[in-house]
Amino acid sequence: MDNIMTTEIYDKDQSDTFARIHVSQEHERIPTDHYYAGIAVKQQDVYLAKAVLYINTGITYQDKNVGLVGAYEAQENEEAVRQLFQTIEKLAKEQGIDFLIGPMNGSTWENYRFHDHPEKSLFFMEMKHQPYYAKQWKSIGFEPIAHYYSAIAFVAPRRNEKIDQVKNRLLRDGIIIRGIDMDDYEADLKKLYPFLHESFKQNFLYTPITETSFLEKYLSLQAILKPEFVQIAEHEGKIVGILLGTDDLLNPTDKTLIIKTLARSPQRLYGGLGLVLVDDFYQKAVSKEYQRIIFAFMIDEGDATPLSDQYGGDLLKTYTLYGKSL
């Protein structure tokens, strides 16, 4: 009887209790937006596997009714993982869900995707997880639905006359490029919130978050951001572009920057603005004697030319997002 595994279900009112369950050392914060239920499998008093079923009704994927599986932790125990997903799938079907996507902690604003090679060293803002997680998911029927990658470029002095010409045109048209205002940081975030929603709304699996959740997420970054590496483009008082970069705080030996977010208004007037923001960022990296730039978490769009190629970028890492029909 002592070897029997039991499954526990924690509804949203119990999410704080569920968050205190630890299965692995890679324990992470559990977002509660779109949280439907937390599921945990234990044997005796040892938790062997856990995950959250998120139901985000804004997610669009083909013609499916989608549920998300996130906050996943598991030991190398096939039976525990099988029981975990058996319960997740039962709960999902009861809510009319016919397709699961993961790992995703409620939305693309939070951690999602598995590393394809998790043994590689992490850079700042990457999710850490056990190397066998993807294999566990594939063993119960999950298959890839999207691929992503990060690229790395070594910093060296270079100029691109075409980008300089685009920048001059944008400046003549009245576009201003400035660093984020650290003295009025929250006010800048409140301006960025609607702009980012509008810019990202066509992205794969994108859904908006509340302004409160957005501020909570980005206010915590203020202490580590440098205004010269968070560039905002404005036109007539409105934000029309953003590049958010940060130091790689996990790499103390090589001076490395990470481009985390790049967005611009889709209007024709601002064509080339993304290239200009990246080039400005690159030139500042040169002047500050950084050695490398990481272009992080780009979706693999097949034959599209990666922005990192313009700076001699090489593939650094790949990631996969998975799905399963129920």
On whether both 137 and 194 belong to a single domain, the answer is no
Contacts by 156-165 with C-beta closer than 8 Å and gap 24+?
156/286, 157/286, 158/282, 158/311, 160/279, 160/310, 163/272, 163/275, 163/276, 163/279
| Domain CATH for 177 | 3.40.630.30
Out of 159-163, 300-304, 315-319, least confident range: 300-304
Alpha-carbon gap, residue 248 to 155, rounded angstroms: 14
> What single-letter amino acid sits at 207?
T
Question: Is residue 302 scored above 80 in pLDDT?
Answer: no
Alpha-carbon gap, residue 167 to 270, rounded angstroms: 10
Query: Which of 105, 121, 149 is the last residue before a domain boundary?
Result: 149
The residue whose two tokens read 């998790």 is 118
Q: Around 101, how many Cα atoms within 13 Å sit in the side-chain half-sphere?
A: 25
Q: How many domains does the chain have?
A: 2
Over residues 175-197, the pLDDT tens digits come to: 999 999 999 999 999 999 999 99
Residue 312 maps to a domain: no
Q: What are the tokens at 324? A: 């399963």
In percent, how much of the chain has pLDDT > 90?
88
On whether both 201 and 114 belong to a single domain, the answer is no
Residue 315 maps to a domain: no
For residue 86, give the H/E element and its range. Answer: helix 78-94
Over residues 277-293, the pLDDT tens digits come to: 999 999 999 999 999 99
Residue 209 maps to a domain: yes
On whether both 117 and 193 belong to a single domain, the answer is no
Region 88-108 average pLDDT: 98
303 band by pLDDT with thresholds 50, 70 and 90? low
On whether both 144 and 259 belong to a single domain, the answer is no
Residue 188 maps to a domain: yes
- What number of helices (H) and strands (E) belong to the chain? 7, 13
Say what the pLDDT of residue 311 is: 78
Length of the chain, in residues: 326
**Domain boundaries, position 121:** 5-149
Residue 322 maps to a domain: no
Say what the pLDDT of residue 215 is: 96
In percent, how much of the chain has pLDDT > 70?
97
Residue 305 maps to a domain: no
Over residues 101-122, the pLDDT tens digits come to: 999 999 999 999 999 999 999 9
Q: What phi and psi, each to the nearest 5 degrees, are found at residue 89?
A: -65, -35
On whether both 215 and 99 belong to a single domain, the answer is no
* Cis amide prior to 103 (ω within 30 degrees): yes
On whether both 194 and 253 belong to a single domain, the answer is yes
* Cis amide prior to 118 (ω within 30 degrees): no
Question: What is the pLDDT of the chain when averaged over all its residues?
Answer: 94
On whether both 226 and 161 belong to a single domain, the answer is yes
Alpha-carbon gap, residue 127 to 112, rounded angstroms: 8
Distance of CA 271 to the CA centre of its chain: 25
Alpha-carbon gap, residue 168 to 173, rounded angstroms: 9
On whether both 138 and 34 belong to a single domain, the answer is yes
Alpha-carbon gap, residue 326 to 323, rounded angstroms: 10
Question: Is residue 24 scored above 80 in pLDDT?
Answer: no
On whether both 224 and 176 belong to a single domain, the answer is yes
Question: Is residue 304 scored above 90 in pLDDT?
Answer: no
Say what the pLDDT of residue 2 is: 62
On whether both 11 and 124 belong to a single domain, the answer is yes
On whether both 188 and 231 belong to a single domain, the answer is yes
Which candidate, 49, 48, 68, places its Cα nearest to that of 58? 68
| Contact residues for 300 (Cβ-Cβ < 8 A; gap 6+) | 146, 147, 148, 149, 318
On whether both 259 and 175 belong to a single domain, the answer is yes
Alpha-carbon gap, residue 34 to 69, rounded angstroms: 11
Residue 104 maps to a domain: yes
Alpha-carbon gap, residue 224 to 193, rounded angstroms: 20
Residue 133 maps to a domain: yes
258 band by pLDDT with thresholds 50, 70 and 90? very high
Query: Which of 119, 149, 179 is the last residue before a domain boundary?
Result: 149
Query: Which of 102, 123, 149 is the last residue before a domain boundary?
Result: 149
